[in-house]
Amino acid sequence: MKTKLKKDKRGLVKKNKKNSGIIVDVFNKPNLLRNSKIKTRLIISFVLLCFIPLAIVSLISYNNSSKAIESKIKTYSVEVVKGIGMNIETEIKQIEDMCIDIYSNLSLREYLESFKSLSVTEQSKTTYLINNIIKPKLAQKPYISAGNILLDDETIFGFGEISLDKALLKTQIEITDQDSSKFYLSNGINLNDEPVIFISKQMKSNTSQKIGTLVITIREDHFSKIYSEVNVGDNAEVYILDSNGLVVSSRNPNGIPINKELVDKSMIKEIAANDSAEIYSFHHSSEGNDYLVAFSKIKEADWFVACTIPYSYLTSESVNLRNNIIYVGVVCLIFAIAVSLIIASSISKPLNAIKSKMSEAKDGKLDVRYKDNSKDEISQIGNSFNEMISNIRFLVKQVDDSTTKVSAEAEKLTGTSSMTYKLAEQVTKAVEDITKGTLDQAEEAVQCVAYMNNLSEGINSVESEINIVANTINDAKSLSEESLEIVNDLYSKSTVTKQVSYEVVEGIKSLSSDLILIKDILKLITGISEQTNLLSLNASIEAARAGEAGRGFTVVAEEVKKLADQSKEASSNIDDIIQNIQKRAEATVIVANNASNIVEDQMRSVGQTDEAFKTIFQKMNHLYKNFDMVSNSTKNILKIKNETTNAIEKISTGLEATAASIEEVSASAEEQMASSELLSVLAKDLSNMSETLITAVSAFKINN
C-alpha cells in the first residue's frame, strides 16, 4: 500500500493526517537520551568514556603485561644462557686449538718417542727442548695455570705441575685412555685449594702408538668471568654443572659451592629431560620457593649452563603495575567527574545564549550581537553568528549600492561599446596594411638567403684552393726538412773525410820519418860491410903469410868477404826502394793536402747550403702559418655565413609567423566588432535588470 506525503511551503515533509498512526517521522521520534539536559548527558558520558575504557584497558594490560614480562624474561634468560654457553664453547675450542697446535708439532713427537731410549744427559737436553715448545704457546695465557705432557706417572714436561696433585694428573691419564680420539674436560682443586678445570687429550705417534697425555690446567675464574657481569634479575644464580649435578663453575661460590653436588637432585633430572625435548626453560619448586630455570648444553663437554630466577622477581613488576593501575583508575574517575562538570557547564551556558540571539534574528532583528571572549568552538560559532549577521547587513546595503552603480555603468557601457566598434574597424584596416608589409619583407628575406648561399659556394671554392696551397706548402716544408737533414749528414761526413785526410797525411809524415831512420841504419850497415870487407882482406893477407897453416882461415875470409859484398849490395837495393817510397809518400802528402783543402772548401759550401736551407725552412714555416691563419679566417667567414643564413631564415620564419598572427589579430578584431554589438545589447538588458533589483532591495529595512 502506498502512502502519500505532503510538503509545506518550505519543502518539509508533513504527516498525512489519514495515516498518522502508521507513518512516524524518524527525525521527530522520541529518544530517551533527549529527555535529559545536555549537561547531565555530558557528565554521564565523560564518566563512562573515561572509566569503562580505562578499566578494560587496565585489566587487559595487566594480564598481557604479566604474561609478556614473564615471556620476555624467560626468552631473555634462555638467550643469555645460550650466549654464555656459546662463549664458553668458543673459549674451550680456542684452548683445544692450542692443544692441537702443540701435539701436531713433529719435533715434539720425535722428542717424546725417543725420550726413554736416551741417556740421562740427553734426556735433560730433550726436556729443555720440549719445555721450550710448550711454554711459549701456553705460558703467555694468564688463565692457564699449568700446561703439561705426561709420559707416565713420573715423567712430566711443561710448567705449573708443582701446584697440582699427581693423583689428579694420573686421573687425566686414565680418563684419556678411555677414548683417545677426543678431548676430555674435568674439574678439580689444586694444592692451593683453588678450583681448576682440566682439558686433556691423549697424544699418538705417526704409527698410532700412545706417546703421552697433554693436560691443560685452567683456573675456574676464567669461565666464571664470562658470565659474572650478566644481569638476569635480582637473586638470580648462574652456574655450570655436569650431568651428575656436580657444580663445575659458579659466579657465587658462597650460594652455589664449586666442586659440590646440588642439594636439589631433582633439578638435574628435569634439565636432562627438557634437554631431550629441546625445551630450555621450565618451572621448578625447591624448598617452598618457585624458580624459573633456563639452561643451555655445552657441546664440547658434558656440562650445562644453568640460571635460576625467583618467581618473586618475575611477578614483582606485575604486582607494581596492578597497584599503579588501581591508583590511577581511582584518580582518573574523580578527575573525570570534576572535569565533566566544568566542561558541561562551559558548553550548556554559551549554547543557551546563542539560542536566545538566534531567536531574535529569526524574528527579523538583524542588529543583534553575541558577546563571548572565549577561544573555543562555541565562541567561534558565536563569532561566526555575529559575522553572518554583519555580512547579511553589509550584503543588503552593498546590493543596494551596487544596483545603483550598475545602472549608471550600464549606460556608460552602451556608449563604450559604440566607441569600441569604431576602434575595431580602424584596427582591422591597420592590420591589413601591416600584413602586406610583412609578406614583402618575408620575400626579401628569402632572396637574401639565396644571395648568402651563392656567397657560401664562392667561399667554399676559396677554401678548397687554400687547402691545396696549404698542402703544397706543407709538402715543401717537409722537403726542406729532409734536405736540411741531408745537408747536415753531408756536413758530418765531410768532417769525417777531413779528419781521415789529416790522419793519412800524418801517417805518411810518420812513415817518411821512419824511412829516414831506416836510411841511417842502411848507412851504418854499409859501413859495417866495408869494414868487414877490409877485415876479410887483412885476414887473407895474414893467412897467406901463415902458409899452409892459414889455408882454412883464408876460406873463411873469402866467405866473409862475399857476405860483406852481398850486405852492401842489399843495402844499396834497399836504399833505392826507400827513395822510391819517399818520392811516392811526398806525392801522396801533396795529394792529401790538396784533398784536405778541397774538403774544407766543400764543408764551407755545405755550411752555406745548410744556412740557405734553414732560411728556406723558416720562410716556409712562416708562410705555412700565414696560410693556416688564412684558412682559419675562411672557416670563421663560413661560420659567420652559416650564422647569418640561420638568422635570416629565423627572421623569415618569424615574419611568416607574424603575418599569421596579424591575420589572427584581424580575425579577432572582426570578432571584437561583433562582440561590441552584442555588448551594447547586453548593456541595455543589464540596465533593465538593475532597475528590477533596486525595486527588490528597497523592501529591506536596515538599522545602521
Tens-place pLDDT, residues 198-216: 899 888 888 888 888 989 8
**Which residues touch 462 (CB under 8 Å, ≥6 apart)?**
634
Give the containing element (helix H, strand E) for 157: strand 156-159
E-strand stretches of 289-348: 289-298, 303-310
What is the reported pLDDT for 697? 60
From the options 3.40.50.300, 3.30.450.20, 3.30.2020.30, 3.90.950.20, give the CATH code of 68-320: 3.30.450.20
Q: String of b and e for 426-461 (b: at least 16 CB within 10 Å)?
A: ebbeebeeebeebeebbeebeebbeebeeebeebee
Q: Grid coordinates in use for 439? A: 609578406
Find cell 666442586 and name the residue. 259
User: Poorest-confidence range of 103-112, 302-311, 509-518, 547-556?
Assistant: 547-556
With pLDDT > 90 as the criterion, what percentage of the chain qualifies? 0
In order, the DSSP letters of 527-559 are HHHHHHHHHHHHHHHHHHHHGGGGHHHHHHHHH
Average pLDDT, the chain: 76
Most confident of 243-247, 322-326, 546-550: 243-247
User: What's the pLDDT tens digit per position in 679-701?
Assistant: 667 767 776 776 777 776 655 55
With pLDDT > 70 as the criterion, what percentage of the chain qualifies? 83
CA separation for the pair 697, 689 (Å, rounded) = 12
The 3-state secondary structure of 483-500 reads HHHHHHHHHHHHHHHHHH
Query: Do 397 and 702 form a contact (C-beta atoms < 8 A)?
Result: yes
From the options 1.10.3720.10, 1.10.645.10, 1.10.287.950, 3.40.190.10, give the CATH code of 386-696: 1.10.287.950
Mean pLDDT calculated for residue range 669-677: 69
CA separation for the pair 380, 72 (Å, rounded) = 51
Mean pLDDT calculated for residue range 560-579: 78
Per DSSP, helices labelled H in 115-264 are 120-138, 166-178, 221-227
- Asked if pLDDT for residue 23 goes beyond 60, the answer is no
Q: Give the model's confidence band at 702: pLDDT under 50 very low, under 70 low, under 90 confident, else very high.
A: low
What is the reported pLDDT for 558? 78
What is the reported pLDDT for 35? 67
User: Poorest-confidence range of 56-60, 127-131, 273-277, 390-394?
Assistant: 390-394
The residue among 396 and 570 whose pLDDT is bigger is 570
549, HSE (Cβ side, Cα atoms, 13 Å): 3
What is the reported pLDDT for 125? 92
What is the reported pLDDT for 1? 38
For the chain, where do the domains classified as CATH 1.10.287.950 start and end?
Answer: 386-696
What is the reported pLDDT for 676? 65
What is the reported pLDDT for 33? 61
Mean pLDDT calculated for residue range 40-51: 75
CA separation for the pair 676, 414 (Å, rounded) = 9
Phi-psi region of 364 (alpha: psi -120 to 50; beta: other; left: phi over 0): left
- Asked if pLDDT for residue 413 goes beyond 70, the answer is no
Report CA Rg, the chain.
67
What is the reported pLDDT for 103? 79
Q: Grid coordinates in use for 268? A: 638435574
Helix, strand, coil percentages, rounded to 5, for the chain: 75, 10, 15
Nearest to 139 by CA among 224, 217, 212, 87: 217
User: What's the pLDDT tens digit per position in 219-278?
Assistant: 888 888 888 888 877 788 898 988 888 898 998 888 888 888 888 888 888 888 888 877
User: What's the pLDDT tens digit per position in 475-522?
Assistant: 766 776 777 777 777 777 778 777 777 777 777 778 777 778 787 787
E-strand stretches of 260-380: 281-286, 289-298, 303-310
For the chain, where do the domains classified as CATH 3.30.450.20 start and end?
Answer: 68-320
User: What's the pLDDT tens digit per position in 620-647?
Assistant: 777 767 767 777 777 777 777 777 777 7
Query: Do 6 and 14 form a contact (C-beta atoms < 8 A)?
Result: yes
Q: Give the model's confidence band at 49: pLDDT under 50 very low, under 70 low, under 90 confident, else very high.
A: confident
